Structure 1
Amino acid sequence: MAQESTEYQQIKAQFAAAKAKAQNDGNQRGQKPAQTPAAASASVRFKTQHFLASLIFIWFLLLHVIGIFLFTKGFLLTRLVLEDKSTCAGPPIKLSDHGDCWLPKTFDKAVVIIIDALRYDFTVPHNETEHYLNALTVLHETSQSQPQNAFLRPFIADPPTTTLTRLKGLTTGTLPTFVDAGSNFAGTAIDEDNLVAQLKDAGKTIVHLGDDTWHSLFPGYFDPNLTKSYDSFNVWDLHTVDNGVIEHLLPLLKIPERWDVIFGHFLGVDHAGHRYGPDHPAMAAKLRQMDEVLRQVIEQLSDDTLLVVMGDHGMDSKGDHGGESDDEIEAALWMYSRKGVFGRTDPGHIQPPKTAKIRPVNQIDLVPTLSLLLGLPIPFNNLGWPIEEAFVGADGQHFEHLSAAYALSGAQIHEYQEKYASVRGSDTNAMILPEAAWQASLTKWDKPLPNKKADQNHWLEISQLFSAYQKEHLKVCKSLWARFDLASMGMGILVLGFALLALIHFASSAAGDRLKIIPVVLRQAFPAAVLGIVLGRMVGFTALELPSLDLSLLGGSLGSLAGYAIAVGSQSLSIPLPTSLWSWASVVFTLSQSVGFASNSFTIWEDEILLFFLSTFGVLALLSSLRQRNPMGQVLGSYHSILFLFLSRISSLSRLCREEQMPICRSTFYASATSSTSAIWQLFIPYVVATLLPSILKSYYSGTRSYEGISAFWIGFCFRLGLLGTAVYWTIDAADNGEWFASISPTTLSGMKIHLAQILLGLAFIAGAVIFIWAPLCIQVLQSTTSEPTKSIIIFGHANVHGSRYALLYIAWHLGITIVSKPMANGSLAVMGWQLFSLLEILDINGLTPTLTQTTPSIASTMVALIASFYYFKTGHTATLSSIQWDVAFLSQSTIRYPWSPLLVMLNHFASFILAAVFIPLVALWKQPAPGNKRPLSSVLNDICSALADFIVYFAVESLATTMWAGHLRRHLMLYRIFNPRFLMGAAVLLIVDVIGIFVGLMFGIWCNIGSVAEVFGWN
């Protein structure tokens, strides 16, 4: 490195001498010599331009944040949380026998066991040989052999199938919404009436064991001396939580006088699914462990204790959950009692259903069932319904008792709905509630009979009427109850739309005008934004129907955009139409992609559409290259075009199929469709990447003689070493998962992984940043050895002095992103990097890089954006919650640590977009020579702004389109399965490319890069 530094100083000294010589020659010709203050002035001028350019992009970022916030605020469904509490003293309907509360209690105590992710088919016998089958048998055995003591039914969860959301539904009986508006809006604790609160108010001693999520939802409710909670986020740990629950649960059953209700939450089945997938020996082992534990619990159970075992959700074929596929929503519910109080109205129902499609029960039905069985009032906000088996009696003929339970639950629901409607006022008018069904049920209930107890048909009819009312009411609530705020949604779309128009105008502005209008725009936009905020606030005080915050944000956004229009008023506000085949291609790719999001099938097969667009560009580039006049250009252009097509096709082999793509799609990203780990052969991919990718990047550097100095050290040694370390990491990870080395402690392997990952991340992001900041240019200076008086200077790498150095930053980020990506994704990202550099050559050969005269959409930026979108799917992700690879949160630490764990997940999930945002300045920098009169630094900065603006335009159009389609299709059957996830992804991607492109690419990368170039060649 000392030699490099000396050579770097020699370069500057040589150029200083050449500059002094030029000044002396100018003096001899009577010209005014260049003065040092002029150079200083040029430096200040460029720094000012760079700072203002960063500010205007930050302004666009703020507009995107405001627009997305406003739309999201109105779109993500809300539910008003009522603070009313049900009490024993105020039953919603009159009964002849209330007992101590609404109904006489059946049990004094309860043990509620949640086996996280217990899918229904895990509990019933099958003839197949999958590992997860026929391992947990006690539930089916007892429900079949002892039908009066136990019953097993499918337990259907309301999506989203996340643990926290499901626990809310299991304790409150309410439907999930994205935002529950209540007194504690910002907190996670449940404030509304719920089962745990009713137990606490009744003076019950409540014990919790297991998943610590319960303590964030119900702080202070559990007995501190008996309760034991455990960290729930380490999905790599299959045993700590389960062993802890078992250790404390079984002894507690021997001292029933110390507790009334026990909640035990096991996590091993869920973690086994996340780590290995359901079809793995580890899953079978966990299910067998649960079977053994439940048998021990049954043996120690007292007669007055109810045992409930359930899953909060299921899991898909890879062990993930969060969506609404059948495997994710179909859990199991089993109830057991020594008393023999359970019955069936239909004798054929004694046999548990073979599939979850037969006789399912909603998860919200657990709340009224447990409440009435334990002698508690049903929580006020409940929408669930008592489960038939628990109230119809052992002989299945106690219809009077069943109708009483139904009447109480129906009356509670009706009372809640009346209160909700009165609080909401006119907001609930659109809901057509089943009032006729309620009146029919109530009339039949109040009708006197000579001998009510003898008339079982009468009670059966009442039960059927109340049940029909509840089903109809629940159907209405699921479709219409949650309220969309159309005003906020419209405001968000308005801000995003006008911001997009301003961004397109800025991107398509003439090169000479773009940097000039920035200071004018900023001077106009700021005071206009302040004025808009004030006006919006004033309107908010008078328009009571609209929140003043929304109006202030809208006013500030539109005010600043009006300031932009005023600033460029002297110029044409029109946006020029495409003038070439390439600019038309850019527009067609962008618009057709965005318009297609109105179709659910287009969204489902988005990866195939993107492959078609990339292939189309490759064919057009090949045809264009063949038309080049220079034979060498024809050959190189054709080579890179064919290579581009080949890489697109190769990368398409990596894919993770959506549920909707089955069965015609075959996933290759994991070892199998039922695994969350990589196949053994995939572990060789990172080693191949470590061997080939540095050499491939070297070839692109060598083409411009830029593989000199620091580039050889960083690419040839550091980058290769980091990639090799990544390969070793995933090998150790596979050894840990597969338990290859029984003699080595799993703790040792985990520790090795964590330390190695920390070293690699430090190499990529810390060492990479330091090297990029202080590295000399990737050039070599040679001086002729002739004996002539004036010796010539040869500079290798001069033709790519900007691009070769900036690419070092991209390579550092590529290494960091590769570290947090799984083995198959390592290969995909390597192909992506190769394809991006091949794209640079195509753009250069065909003259498609940003130029001083460009005023139309850039195909260069559009193709980088398309590549980023394509490789999002090739790195094992889809626009679904279940595709998030949560396990990478533990890549460099054994527990959840903020903000590092979320950052690792974000780097993994949005890997391709982050890399593309870091890469985009290279579109304007690659093969750009040192600054001079023909290529001043200001023009370089202008081209970078153009490339970045066009790049953001693509994602802004996509985000606006997914936002509009999600709003338009807000009542579509596939909203939450397809359109809403795609909207959320589009919004997140837009903000990420904004942040990375501005702060990493434009502000940090360009500043360090151009500063280093200017130190040697001057601030021209």
Structure 2
Amino acid sequence: MAFSKGFALLAWILILHLAGIYLFTSGFLLTRLSLPDFTLCLNNNCTLPPTHTRAVFLIIDALRFDFVSPEPPVPASSIHHNILTLPRELTAATPRNSFLFNAYSDPPTATLQRIKALTTGSLPTFVDIGNNFGGSAIAEDSIMKQLHLAGKKAVFMGDDTWMSVFPDSFQMSFPYDSFNVEDLHTVDEGVIKHLFPLLEDNSKPFDFLVGHFLGVDHVGHRVGPDHPSMKDKLEQMNRVLARVVELLDRETLLVVLGDHGMDRAGDHGGDGTLETSSAMWIYSKGAPLSIDPSAIPSGLLQYRTFPNAPASHRSIQQIDIVPTLSLLLGLPIPFNNLGSVIPELFWRDRQGAGLLRALEINVAQIKSYLDAYRASSSGGELDNDWLSLMSAWTATQAANLTVDQNLIVMSNYTRVALAACRSIWAQFNPFLMGLGLALLALGVAAIWATYSGLSSAGDNWDQWLGDQLQKYVRGAAVGAIVGLLIYVGLDSHLPGMDALDCILFCAPFVSCIVMIATSAPSLTSLKSLPVPLVLHAIAFLSNSFTFWEDRLVPFLIMSSIAPLMLKGITAPSSRLRWRIIGFSTLFAVCVRLVSTSTVCREEQQPYCHVTFYESSSPSAPLPVLYLAVPTALSLPWVLRRFLKISRSHLGLAKFFLPGILMPTLVAGAGYWLLEWADSAAILDGEWTPILRIARTWLVRASFFFVLVGGGSLWWAVPLCLDIESPPPKLGEKRQVTVVGYANAFGSSYLLFWTIFFAVVYATSQLTGQLVLALTAVALVAYLEIVDSVRDVRMLEALAASSPSALLNLETPSRSPPIRFADVVPVALLGLHAFYGTGHQSTISSIQWKSAFLLTSTVDFTLSALTVTLNSFGPLFLAGLAVPLLALWNRSPLGVGPPAAETPQARRKTDTQVQGESVVAGLGVMAYYAVLLLGTAVSAAILRRHLMVWKVFAPRFMAAVVELVVIDAAVLLGFGVGVQRVGDRVSHMFRGVGTQLA
């Protein structure tokens, strides 16, 4: 019954958190309103005569600008620079027919969002990236819709993402699976197979051809841009483009572009310069696109310098291709477009009349879109920028302007409109955000109150909690009724809220008030301000501290154990002094070693050096490759040595650690070693399918082995105890010795924890596995520190109450309860391991390789699971480990000698362990709830900050996942681990007389 009460409390805290998160994110992360209007051109007043009758639109996924630049960065790479040279060669040879641009791809730089932008001319929003796996069809106006309205035929081949967003737009399609990043060639070969026959067909049965190559992107994800495979792939693309140009007729326009770039590790998704710098090449084999590009007014042209490049290059916005291509093909510009026509492609006379007319159409289309958006339900988003937009529009209507002046003011209007929409494209609902913040803040106060109440209740915690839960439920019921009444009476005054929102706010809100009011007298149990937590939370108000949080966390960890080390120095016995100082040193060494594993944010350059990966490659460093298997073999032995301290290394532990944990860890290391061998081409290419099958089934078997085999074994025989019963001497009673009783709770729960540790270990790359091993050692070392400090505090309490009690071994004593300060290092250790395993609060740090752990292609369930475990598994392990603070070295028979043992004493010890497990869970949930509150406050206050979507919003979203993961881990640990261990220990020692060993 006590367990169910504790579980109910922890589950209710999770519900409070989810309600606050839902309300805040509903006001903070709304998607852009997509207008259903489309451009309908009845009298050809919104388009131009076509320059080409058809177009070939080729996307080379992740084609970064420097891959085709005529002036690549210095020093140039022999792998990916000066390889794909055809675009720059033709641009140099035919400057009126060929144009090469550095195109800016708006973040998030994920393929789905870039396809939407390239066809609609609109901007993506921050949360759109969540749709990248399984996007829905594009409903708004697009170039594909305009082609359909004009009766044009479109064909497609390549990345099957296009079929999810345009399922009915192509008369002929050849889609290929886009998410098997280990396959570098199938998609490209499929595009080539269908592309050339269509170009060779003299009848040309298409008006618009889309070909989407994926090989460059997959090489980047798989082995990085500096691998020889990238050179091979770029050479192949160069040959493909040469063949396309050869087969191109004079009526067909060729557009080649990258949908985004890639960072130094080959990944993308964020807003780094390397990710947003994509190449765009436009070529006409027939009529020139421009008569004299050098005569274009300089005010219309922008230039940008690629990092480390010797010179700047002509730059455009990637969405500029939408109005440009539409007008070149004689189509209307899609209604939602915010791009500007590219001046060079409309400079067909020296007076600029063609460009002027193109800009007039472009400006009219954007003005129509903004007017429609202003009149929509989301029109208030434009309030702050409407005056500047109207001022820019008025300038385009001025009389007596020269052609050049007209060109400049119209171009300026398109850019002002784009900038305004970029600045406001997150539709904030301050009212919902405020409700979410209020609920999150009140939830933190309620957790503190309940934490304090449970701590003060001591052994009577279950009775206290039973009374409190009834009050919490009644408060929630009253709140739900109040919420419904508020909605009925004030519906028109609640912007963006429905009845469910009102109930989701009021029910937890009233329940939190009840929690605080009924536990207020116990708040004094929180005797000191948790300084590390306060510093950690307020740091999120600074973008600099958020950038460097991975360096802030180790400082906070060491600060949090400093008081424990001081306690060790003043301990009353030499044994305790050496234990505390020794284990504290081991803990500090492990924390420092974890700190050496780094993955750098863009903002940390040039002060950060990546050590998680090998230099300029997404593979593990060479020392890590040598240490992978030895680490997997030695960690179970290390854990067994820690259990041996309390003689709890026998029983189940004697078999479980070497027989279950060790093979699973070795299999996890083996998977990534095989993946490295495949990526580094250690063996011939014919071994690739064999290695893929081998490592897939290796990790599948290890998952089954540890989860099913290990889990079933632990459930059936969870205790790490051994029974010694030597033959009795003549005339003496037979004695039974239970070995390992002193840590009966903690040793068994540690084995439960290792089951999930092994799973997370397998999903982590090799460097991450070393970090997790160090984290496990740090954890058990810290448990020994806490246990020793508890002994010191108990001795100090005895000495203060009755100095003579220290000499009386028959004096029973109660082990001191855990404190919030004891929870802080474990909470921080999880976050430290998160950073050490190669993660940051950025999209680009997601390790997509882990998506293919259990399957060679993307399975939305399995891939999402393994990516989540890879990313947030260290935090899950920290939350799952927190009950060990209550269980470790707490014997089931109390702390007194055998003569002092009574059924009441045994019950008190068991009750203390159970209650403090709930307290420990509340402590870690409170820590991460405060972090979430800090990130939410920073995101709300700084929502108009320049770096809100670059820094504060990603950190807030990471904090959301962190808190949910921690809450889920605590619920699992208490509901399954603690309950099972408690049941088995109670059954084992119920009514048994023993000699304790």
**Does TM, scored on the shorter chain, surpass 0.5?**
yes
Q: Mean Cα displacement is larger for which, 628-637 or 536-545? A: 536-545
Q: Mean Cα displacement is larger for which, 684-693 or 381-390? A: 684-693
1:577 CA displacement: 6.1
Distance (whole Å) between structure 1 residues aligned to residue 358 and residue 687 of structure 2: 55
Match in the other structure for 2:536: 593
Name which of 348, 353, 374 aligns with 1:400: 353
- Partner of 2:376, secondary structure, is helix
Q: Mean Cα displacement is larger for which, 121-130 or 802-811? A: 121-130
Kept in 1: contact 2:17–2:443 (CA 8 A): yes
Distance (whole Å) between structure 2 residues aligned to residue 151 and residue 124 of structure 1: 12
1:743 CA displacement: 6.9
Match in the other structure for 1:768: 710
1:363 CA displacement: 1.2
Match in the other structure for 2:436: 492
Evaluate the alpha carbon distance shift between residue 398 and residue 275 of structure 1 in structure 2; reply closer, same or farther with a 3 A threshold. farther
Residues 543-601 of structure 1: per-residue CA shift (max 9 Å, x gap)? 3253575564344444344345447755535622643xxx55xx001110111111111
Distance (whole Å) between structure 2 residues aligned to residue 121 and residue 564 of structure 1: 56
- Partner of 2:282, secondary structure, is strand
Q: How does 1:867-1016 map to 2 (within 5 A)?
A: 867-931=829-893, 932-936=903-907, 937-998=910-971, 1000-1016=972-988
Q: Mean Cα displacement is larger for which, 905-914 or 775-784? A: 775-784
Distance (whole Å) between structure 2 residues aligned to residue 631 and residue 352 of structure 1: 71
Kept in 1: contact 2:117–2:123 (CA 8 A): yes
Evaluate the alpha carbon distance shift between residue 854 and residue 376 of structure 1 in structure 2; reply closer, same or farther with a 3 A threshold. farther
2:182 pairs with 1:240: no
1:950 CA displacement: 0.4
- Partner of 2:981, secondary structure, is helix
1:848 CA displacement: 8.2
Kept in 2: contact 1:504–1:575 (CA 8 A): yes
Residues 691-721 of structure 1: per-residue CA shift (max 9 Å, x gap)? 3211110111111111112111111222122
1:163 CA displacement: 0.9
Evaluate the alpha carbon distance shift between residue 598 and residue 324 of structure 1 in structure 2; reply closer, same or farther with a 3 A threshold. same
2:140 pairs with 1:192: yes
Name which of 4, 19, 33 aligns with 1:66: 19
Evaluate the alpha carbon distance shift between residue 160 and residue 560 of structure 1 in structure 2; reply closer, same or farther with a 3 A threshold. closer
Counterpart residue type for residue 403 of structure 2: W
Counterpart residue type for residue 683 of structure 2: F
Match in the other structure for 1:326: 273
Distance (whole Å) between structure 2 residues aligned to residue 776 and residue 180 of structure 1: 46
Q: Mean Cα displacement is larger for which, 854-863 or 938-947? A: 854-863
1:615 CA displacement: 2.4
How many residue pairs match? The answer is: 939
Q: How does 1:524-535 map to 2 (within 5 A)?
A: 524-535=471-482
Evaluate the alpha carbon distance shift between residue 753 and residue 427 of structure 1 in structure 2; reply closer, same or farther with a 3 A threshold. closer
Match in the other structure for 1:700: 642
Q: Mean Cα displacement is larger for which, 472-481 or 50-59? A: 472-481
Name which of 376, 386, 392 aligns with 1:423: 376
Counterpart residue type for residue 984 of structure 2: S
Q: Mean Cα displacement is larger for which, 202-211 or 473-482? A: 473-482
Counterpart residue type for residue 56 of structure 2: V
2:99 pairs with 1:151: yes
Kept in 1: contact 2:724–2:736 (CA 8 A): yes
Evaluate the alpha carbon distance shift between residue 352 and residue 798 of structure 1 in structure 2; reply closer, same or farther with a 3 A threshold. closer
Match in the other structure for 1:95: none
- Partner of 1:265, secondary structure, is strand
Counterpart residue type for residue 934 of structure 1: A
1:790 CA displacement: 1.8
Query: Aligned-residue CA RMSD in angstroms?
Result: 2.4
Distance (whole Å) between structure 2 residues aligned to residue 421 and residue 347 of structure 1: 37
1:1019 CA displacement: 9.6
Kept in 2: contact 1:150–1:335 (CA 8 A): yes
- Partner of 1:151, secondary structure, is strand
Kept in 2: contact 1:803–1:927 (CA 8 A): yes
Distance (whole Å) between structure 1 residues aligned to residue 264 and residue 772 of structure 2: 25
Evaluate the alpha carbon distance shift between residue 80 and residue 853 of structure 1 in structure 2; reply closer, same or farther with a 3 A threshold. farther
- Partner of 1:317, secondary structure, is coil
Name which of 534, 543, 553 aligns with 2:501: 553
Distance (whole Å) between structure 2 residues aligned to residue 741 and residue 916 of structure 1: 39
Q: How does 1:195-210 map to 2 (within 5 A)?
A: 195-210=143-158
Name which of 301, 308, 314 aligns with 2:261: 314
1:209 CA displacement: 0.7
1:522 CA displacement: 3.2
1:481 CA displacement: 4.7
Kept in 1: contact 2:443–2:512 (CA 8 A): no
Distance (whole Å) between structure 2 residues aligned to residue 743 and residue 330 of structure 1: 32
Residues 956-980 of structure 1: per-residue CA shift (max 9 Å, x gap)? 0000110111111111111111111
Evaluate the alpha carbon distance shift between residue 380 and residue 624 of structure 1 in structure 2; reply closer, same or farther with a 3 A threshold. same
Residues 489-546 of structure 1: per-residue CA shift (max 9 Å, x gap)? 1111111111111111111211335433433333333343344334323433433253
Match in the other structure for 1:80: 33
Q: How does 1:286-325 map to 2 (within 5 A)?
A: 286-325=233-272
- Partner of 1:473, secondary structure, is helix
Distance (whole Å) between structure 2 residues aligned to residue 179 and residue 710 of structure 1: 47
Kept in 1: contact 2:303–2:313 (CA 8 A): no
Give TM-score, length-normalised by structure 1: 0.88
1:613 CA displacement: 1.8
Q: Which runs of 5+ in 1 are unaligned?
A: 1-47, 92-97, 448-456
Kept in 2: contact 1:111–1:305 (CA 8 A): yes
Kept in 2: contact 1:706–1:804 (CA 8 A): yes
1:372 CA displacement: 0.6
Counterpart residue type for residue 876 of structure 1: G
Q: Mean Cα displacement is larger for which, 691-700 or 935-944? A: 935-944
Evaluate the alpha carbon distance shift between residue 544 and residue 853 of structure 1 in structure 2; reply closer, same or farther with a 3 A threshold. farther
Counterpart residue type for residue 395 of structure 2: A
Distance (whole Å) between structure 2 residues aligned to residue 845 and residue 287 of structure 1: 61
Kept in 2: contact 1:119–1:311 (CA 8 A): yes
- Partner of 1:463, secondary structure, is helix
Kept in 2: contact 1:144–1:352 (CA 8 A): no
Name which of 320, 330, 349 aligns with 1:375: 330
2:684 pairs with 1:742: yes
Distance (whole Å) between structure 2 residues aligned to residue 850 and residue 968 of structure 1: 43
- Partner of 1:423, secondary structure, is coil
Match in the other structure for 1:412: 365
Give the share of equivalent positions with the same residue, in percent.
35
Residues 708-737 of structure 1: per-residue CA shift (max 9 Å, x gap)? 121111112221222222232222111111
Match in the other structure for 2:231: 284
Match in the other structure for 1:454: none
Match in the other structure for 1:346: 294
Distance (whole Å) between structure 2 residues aligned to residue 849 and residue 802 of structure 1: 21
Distance (whole Å) between structure 2 residues aligned to residue 850 and residue 503 of structure 1: 26
Q: Mean Cα displacement is larger for which, 841-850 or 304-313? A: 841-850
Match in the other structure for 1:132: 80
- Partner of 1:359, secondary structure, is strand
Distance (whole Å) between structure 1 residues aligned to residue 552 and residue 666 of structure 2: 34
1:239 CA displacement: 0.7
Name which of 407, 412, 435 aligns with 1:468: 412
- Partner of 2:182, secondary structure, is coil
Residues 237-264 of structure 1: per-residue CA shift (max 9 Å, x gap)? 1111111111111111122531111111
Kept in 2: contact 1:578–1:856 (CA 8 A): no
Match in the other structure for 1:508: 452
- Partner of 2:492, secondary structure, is coil
Residues 804-857 of structure 1: per-residue CA shift (max 9 Å, x gap)? 111111111111111111111111000000000000000010118999897895
Kept in 2: contact 1:161–1:321 (CA 8 A): yes
Match in the other structure for 1:818: 761
Evaluate the alpha carbon distance shift between residue 286 and residue 436 of structure 1 in structure 2; reply closer, same or farther with a 3 A threshold. same
Q: Mean Cα displacement is larger for which, 761-770 or 406-415? A: 761-770
Distance (whole Å) between structure 1 residues aligned to residue 556 and residue 732 of structure 2: 58
2:565 pairs with 1:622: yes
1:935 CA displacement: 4.4
- Partner of 2:314, secondary structure, is coil
Evaluate the alpha carbon distance shift between residue 966 and residue 427 of structure 1 in structure 2; reply closer, same or farther with a 3 A threshold. closer
- Partner of 1:934, secondary structure, is helix
Counterpart residue type for residue 500 of structure 1: V
Match in the other structure for 2:774: 831
Match in the other structure for 2:896: none
